[in-house]
Structure 1
């Protein structure tokens, strides 16, 4: 069982900036992992980014084996997955990162598809 996720420092900084730039709307993306570390994000293609949800066509995602997780923002202070988040997590597997307002490193949480929290380690 996974108890920790490793995220490259540059990626974490970029994700926080994305969340701030999309605010007051949510954003969503898919995380690429290489050698056990999340290194890149693919922003959800051709979607709708609203205040309470994100919609996109999963058929437009590239077929890549190194996409191992998702990320999305919550433009509120709730850093727990909603019922809709848990449904989404169940469809994509892997690790799921939520960034909450005001989008600082302390406002980031990671979860398994089950909704169980996991620790985040930011690496150089």
Structure 2
């Protein structure tokens, strides 16, 4: 399924969770319906610190709507790290990184190879 946009409510949830988790990273699994990211799945056992968030992907239910990952960076830099790129390459079509200060303009989306992609925000 080709992901082309994110629902504004899902984005608000991501921004709020990222801000609440600060200075620790927030992480989740993106779920989509008909090419639109609509939900974030939180995995049990996710570990979060100021340097990283580690999701236990083996805890993910079998889910055909899972399309990628989201996590926050407690700095203003939304660029993927080497560890991020390794995760992107293992799972999912689209990945979102939300950077501090966690506003609607402080996030970026990437494909599974870490190349920036554009996602529209829909109502």
**Short-chain TM bin:** over 0.9
Q: Which residue of 2 aligns with 1:79?
A: 78
How many residues were matched structurally? 122
- In structure 2, what is the equivalent of residue 106 of structure 1? 105
Unaligned runs of 5+ in 2: none
The answer to whether residue 77 in structure 2 is matched with residue 93 in structure 1 is no
Q: Secondary structure at the match of 2:31?
A: strand
Q: Which runs of structure 2 are paired with 1:1-124 in the superposition (5 Å)? A: 5-124=4-123
> 2:28·2:43 contact (CA, 8 Å) conserved in 1?
yes
TM-score, scaled relative to structure 1: 0.94
TM-score (norm 2): 0.94
Contact 1:5/1:118 (CA < 8 Å) preserved in 2?
no
Q: Aligned partners of 1:56, 1:49: CA distance in 2, in Å?
A: 9
Instruction: Output the CA distance in 2 between the equivalents of 1:121 and 1:25.
Output: 27
* Superposed CA RMSD: 1.2
Q: Secondary structure at the match of 1:45?
A: coil
SS in 2 for 1:20: helix
- For residues 117 and 100 of structure 2, the distance between their equivalents in structure 1, rounded to whole angstroms, comes to 19
The 2-side partners of 1:44 and 1:27 are apart by 11
Gaps of 5+ in 1: none
The structural deviation recorded for 1:100 is 0.1
